[in-house]
């Protein structure tokens, strides 16, 4: 009988056998078949292992190995999301230094450094756009990581089963977004860094090409972006009738209301440029989710064709929520913290950049995720080979 993934059992296989007293004995016939020659992460010596009549011990119930593995999967996915943020941050730090030092051309609005033979490339709008994108990704991604880590703490510290279940549902909803969205944006940031360095970026001694190679695998770890997207749309949205989305949307909308409508908030006027687009985006998110659910009743392929775009669409809205929170906090701190004014001003300016330049990506994603899957599925497999 074929059980598929339901037939997987989980084992631990030691390199050496031990006796009843725990003494190390003969080899358990576990050998390294080869060291994998990978595109990136060269320092991680992943390998092919051969188990020649090796003895292993069953972990958990028979045929329940995948369920056992998922006890640590959410935490592992959060860790992988953090890799995406780290790649984005490292690429940004290197790019910023280089952009301040590399001289090329003059600013289109006139010389900015007339004493030099050319202006540093940081004065050019396209370079500045890439740098701001990197900054928005790394700082927005950190906020998303901290939020999710707190949910993990809430699960550990829950006093009742109801509290633990509620926190676990929140974690299950946010995790696929976190993992896939932040690793995809981490890879984008790394590529922006390569572009800022120009031809130098392709040369190993500058270190940028390594970030690109190393960042790419994070989109594959712990389930590819496509797998995370199916988990989000298929399991966390459609199977639960959007229960977790409703809870998260409520949290965001309460923040928006508090920031823009409560008379005691002295910064509500400045916050309008964040909370109104965010409120509209969250409302659209719920509407599109409902429409996809209705479409999926008639054509299950819509789930697969829309899922990745839906996840990225969701990710941009989630990150917008955290940038709005950072802007609110920055406005509050500016009133009292004179010493760190530049830090808080930078937060507000980056939030403005995110809402004007990155959140609008949701518009094209909305268009493609709602498209009929026939353009993907109606071409016969044989015809794909025709050029």
Active site residues: 222
- For residues 369 and 148, is the Cβ–Cβ distance under 8 A? no
The sign of the torsion formed by the CA atoms of 111, 114, 117, 122 equals negative
Query: Any residues with CB less than 8 A from the CB of 310 and at least 6 apart, and which?
Result: 229, 232, 233, 288, 289, 292, 365, 369
Which residue is listed with tokens 């989305």?
Answer: 245
SS (H, E, C) the chain: CCCHHHHCCEEECCCEEECCCCCEEEECCEEEEEECCCCCCCCCCCEEEEECCCCCEEECCCCCHHHHHHHHHHHHHHHHHHHHHHHHHHHHHHHHHHHHHCECCCCCCCCCCCCCCCCEHHHCHHHHHHHHHHHHHHHHHHHHHHHHHHHHHHHHHCCCHHHHHHHHHHHHHHHHHHHHHHHHHHHHHHHHHHHHHHHHHHCHHHCHHHHHHHHHHHHCCCCCHHHHHHHHHHHHHHCCCCHHHHHHHHHHHHHHHHHHCCCCCCCHHHHHHHHHHHHHHHHHHHHHHHHHHHHHHHCCHHHHHHHHHHHHHHHHHHHHHHHHHHHHHHHHHHCCCCCCHHHHHHHHHHHHHHHHHHCCHHHHHHHHHCCCCHHHHCCCHHHHHCC
Backbone φ and ψ for 323, nearest 5 degrees, come out as -70, -35
CA 353 remoteness from chain centre:
19
């Amino acid at each position: 009988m074929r059980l598929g993934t339901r037939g997987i059992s989980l084992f631990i296989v030691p390199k050496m056998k031990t006796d009843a007293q725990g003494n190390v004995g003969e080899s358990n016939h576990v050998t390294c078949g080869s060291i994998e020659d990978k595109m990136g992460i060269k320092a991680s010596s992943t390998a092919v292992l051969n188990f020649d009549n090796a003895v292993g011990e069953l972990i958990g119930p028979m045929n329940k190995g995948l369920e056992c593995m998922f006890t640590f999967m959410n935490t592992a996915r959060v860790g992988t999301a953090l890799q995406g943020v780290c790649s984005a941050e490292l690429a940004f730090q290197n790019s910023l230094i280089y952009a301040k030092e590399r001289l090329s051309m003059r600013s289109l609005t006139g010389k900015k450094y007339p004493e030099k033979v050319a202006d540093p490339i940081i004065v050019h709008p396209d370079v500045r756009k890439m740098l701001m994108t990197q900054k928005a990704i790394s700082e927005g991604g950190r906020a998303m990581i901290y939020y999710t880590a707190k949910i993990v703490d809430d699960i550990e510290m829950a006093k009742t089963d109801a509290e633990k279940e509620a926190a676990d549902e929140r974690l299950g909803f946010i995790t696929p977004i976190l993992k896939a969205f932040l690793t995809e944006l981490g890879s984008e940031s790394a590529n922006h860094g390569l572009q800022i360095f120009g031809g130098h970026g392709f040369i190993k001694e500058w270190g940028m090409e390594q970030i690109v190679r190393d960042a790419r695998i994070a989109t594959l770890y712990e389930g590819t972006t496509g797998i995370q997207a199916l988990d989000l749309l298929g399991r966390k949205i459609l199977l639960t009738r959007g229960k977790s989305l409703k809870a998260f949307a409520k949290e965001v909308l309460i923040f928006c209301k508090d920031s823009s409508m409560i008379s005691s908030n002295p910064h509500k006027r400045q916050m309008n440029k964040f909370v109104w687009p965010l409120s509209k985006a969250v409302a659209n998110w719920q509407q599109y989710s409902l429409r996809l659910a209705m479409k999926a009743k008639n054509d299950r392929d819509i789930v697969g064709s829309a899922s990745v775009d839906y996840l990225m669409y969701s990710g941009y809205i989630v990150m917008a929520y955290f940038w709005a929170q950072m802007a609110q906090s920055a406005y509050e701190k500016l009133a009292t913290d004179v010493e760190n004014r530049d830090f808080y001003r930078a937060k507000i300016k980056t939030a403005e950049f995110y809402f004007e330049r990155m959140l609008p990506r949701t518009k094209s994603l909305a268009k493609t995720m709602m498209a009929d899957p026939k353009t993907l599925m109606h071409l016969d497999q044989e015809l794909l080979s025709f050029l």
